[in-house]
Amino acid sequence: MSLPPLVEPATELTVDEVRRYSRHLIIPDVGMAGQKRLKNAKVLCVGAGGLGSPALMYLAAAGVGTLGVIDFDVVDESNLQRQIIHGQSDVGRLKAESAAASVREINPLVEVVIHNTALTTENVMEIFSGYDLIVDGTDNFATRYMVNDAAVLLGKPYVWGSIYRFDGQASVFWAEHGPCYRCLYPEPPPPGMVPSCAEGGVLGVLCASIGSIQVNEAIKLLTGIGDPLVGRLMIYDALEMKYRDVKVRKDPECVLCGKNPTVTELLEDYEAFCGAISDEAAEAATGSTITAQELKAMQDNGENIFLVDVREINEYEIVSIPGATLIPKGEFLNGSALEKLPQDKKIVLHCKSGARSAEALAIVKSAGFSDAVHVGGGVLSWVKTVDPSLPSY
């Protein structure tokens, strides 16, 4: 369905703007009026990572007058495989600052607003209120639900995208005209059920595919052209090179945008709502979490331990803690790992950051290994505090 333009047009375009955007201006559906709307638009990109990179670059090139970027992270070398708005010289730099510099280089006519902060329940409503449209490039469920809830409560549309390995999804959520994210996903998946890109990886160019779709949708919404992805979920398979649409209907029982909403304000804790780890894992890890330095001391003292790496083999091949035996988390979930654990040694589990090993720890403890522990921070902590010569990922 076509929708009215989201913003009013600016008064005029300068001579420089006419030259720059001439290829837009000669498109009848965009024209002078559409380009003036883009100039008058204020768009916020949540995240300057894989999806935020192409989104910010193409929004800038398209002539969106005000671009906001919110990100609290710094550029890491592992980002450069897909986060093309950053370069080698930006490693260690704040992502929002690096992204803003690239945007200004692409189009100095764009005003860039930098938010060097994490998006939280304390600031999301204030930040969002200054923009016409939100482009969501987040990579975790807690922030996705918070972005959705804030957008619905403020009556603002947002363009959503998601990527994992070779698969991508995109949609437009606007409760005034269609469903919201909670209509599609009423509840977050169980902890550990859906791996993050940091755990499962992502094809770098997939970010460009989905990010450019997000920008395409943003331009359509801002200028009032075409048929935006409101009420439709676009699914992309990069390996098969296939796109397909799935209709998403507004849920009349949606707790947020339904007929009788029960969520009328932001939740107090979105991390708790989404459950970074299960209650069982959190309970198992309480009092049974050691640091990477403590693991090193155990090894140096010759303690009788059995160190288990619960990551996947491709992660293990990138970097591993010396002496670790690889038993992927899936083998703990199906029970086959338990027969591989010695009864006469203290079981020490680790993963990349500590979430998966905590889940495995709960299973191990319930199987009778009461003195088992896991390494908080996992391989990342080992590389940072014990052996910085090893590669990170």
Active site residue 351: yes
SS3 category, 234: strand
Give every CB contact of residue 76 below 8 A, 6+ residues apart in sequence: 91, 392
Catalytic residue among 183, 254, 257, 351: 351
Is residue 65 within 8 Å of residue 111, measured between CB atoms?
yes
pLDDT of residue 274: 83
pLDDT of residue 193: 64
Give every CB contact of residue 317 below 8 A, 6+ residues apart in sequence: none
pLDDT of residue 284: 93
β-sheet bridge partners, residue 246: 233
Report how far residue 301's alpha carbon sits from residue 295's, in angstroms, rounded to the nearest whole number. 10
Instruction: Please classify residue 286 by burial: count the beta carbons closer than 10 Å to its beta carbon, then call 0-12 exposed, 13-18 middle and 19+ buried.
Output: exposed
For residue range 29-48, what is the model confidence (pLDDT) as tens digits?
999 999 999 999 999 999 99
Catalytic residue among 197, 207, 257, 274: 197
Active site residue 197: yes
pLDDT of residue 269: 87
pLDDT mean values, one per 10 residues, the chain (393 residues)? 92 97 97 98 97 98 98 95 97 98 98 97 97 95 96 98 96 97 91 68 95 98 97 97 96 96 93 79 92 96 97 92 96 94 96 92 95 94 93 85
pLDDT of residue 192: 62
